[in-house]
Amino acid sequence: MKVLVVGGGGREHAIVWKLSQSPKINQIYCAPGNPGIAELAECLSISVSEIEKLANFTKKEQIDLTFVGPEEPLSLGIVNYFKEQGLPIYGPSREAALIEGSKAFAKEMMIKYQIPTASYAAFTNYEKALAYVHSKGAPIVIKADGLAAGKGVVVAKTLEEAENALKGMMKDVTFGSAGARVVIEEFLEGEEMTLLAFVNGTTVKPMVPAQDHKPVFDGDKGPNTGGMGTYAPLPHMDSSMVKRIIEEIVQPTANAMVEEEVPFEGILYTGLMLTKSGPKVIEYNARFGDPETQVVLPLLETDLLDILIASLSGELENVEVKWKDKSAVCVIMSSDGYPGSYEKGQVIKGLDNVTYPTIVFHAGTTAKDREIITNGGRVLGITSIGDHLKEARELAYQSVKKVSFNGAHYRTDIGTKAFR
């Protein structure tokens, strides 16, 4: 088979890496890809938003399956377009991808179907939003309604922080049109976790739970990022809690989407807060999370292609999705200054020093003059697999020390929450 993966970050590198292990695939293309992906697939100079070009390529090359990595093409309706052309593609429709593309849509659905989540209000008027924040006080959570590359959420500890966040989104248009409407939520206390699932209509096949680390500095300090590292599974997480999350949240979400006549097919990401009163939804994504994918897929034993094909043929419920009895830890190496402004073009050294069971997933890199250089805020995801979490953690940090570039930053406490 020939497969096309759309995207060019760490998540897509992990997807390509996993698909490359399938004996049924003889050629993988990736658009646009990156230097790490280029070792496993043929990279194309087509951007993720060039849907017509991507469709033309799949026709010309007779691609058997297209897998969509990032949120942008999903929200632009790549799945709708491909299906209209009779091209096999895995991912949710534009309408179903609204579960991520509009925070307000997701909240309205959760309230309607009594899926546990934080109380909220949505605003397009700045003065009304400000008045609401003052009536509620801090801490409080301010979210840009639309897509903001994982950065449109501010957990405001003070009223001043909340005011600044609102002004940034609604007045200064920091996130463009994504911040024209804001969702303001109650602050939830507890431990965060992510549960990804393969979903086809009302069929749900959960993955192993993972935990992301959003703030840029150790101890969850500093501004939120797209994710500074993650680990899976969660040894301190009772299997009964995972069962509860599936029964109370993930399955009802899949059912609700069918009820709303926007059935979900693809990867459903549920971001959760484990509060004293039980698990609650923080957010949904309509695709694999980044960097959760980098720890979840290395633990998947079943051929990923078999799951995708079964889903597309309506046979997902008949597939047994198996997981390795191991742990994985991913440490993100980022550019100095991220998530604020940062320099690109730093030469990356030591990549050849890292060997399996550690994999280096390229997130923001490019090639120039036969060297790999930094080309993004999150540059690399150093992922190690071990028999248990402590081993995976040690291997990951040993490997991080083998790789270097000017201004490299990483958190030193990824996975330590499991040992508290």
Task: Supply the range of the domain harboring residue 304.
Answer: 191-318
Percent of the residues in the chain that have a pLDDT greater than 70, as a whole number: 99
Query: What confidence tens digit (pLDDT) does each residue in 260-312 have?
Result: 999 999 999 999 999 999 999 999 999 999 999 999 999 999 999 999 999 99
In a domain, 101, yes or no: no
Q: HSE-up of 220 (CA within 13 Å, CB side)?
A: 12
Are 167 and 259 in the same domain? no
Q: What is the mean pLDDT of residues 143-168?
A: 82
Distance CA 178, CA 166 (A): 12
pLDDT at 181: 82
Distances (CA, A) of 234 to 174, 211, 212, 304: 35, 7, 11, 22
Report the pLDDT value the prediction gives residue 120, as an integer from 0 to 100. 86
Q: 163 with 226, same domain?
A: no
pLDDT of residue 151: 64
- In this structure, are 286 and 218 located in the same domain? yes
- What is the overall mean pLDDT for the chain? 94
pLDDT digits (tens, 9 = 90+) for 348-403: 999 999 999 999 999 999 999 999 999 999 999 999 999 999 999 999 999 999 99
Q: Which of 186, 214, 245 is the last residue of a domain?
A: 186
Cis peptide before 279 (omega within 30 of 0): no
State whether 166 and 197 are in the same domain: no
pLDDT at residue 174 is higher than 80? no
**For the ranges 84-93, 179-188, 264-273, which has the lowest average pLDDT?**
179-188
Residue 150 belongs to domain with CATH number: 3.30.1490.20
pLDDT top residue among 124 and 362: 362
Number of domains comprising the chain: 4
Mean pLDDT of 53-61: 98
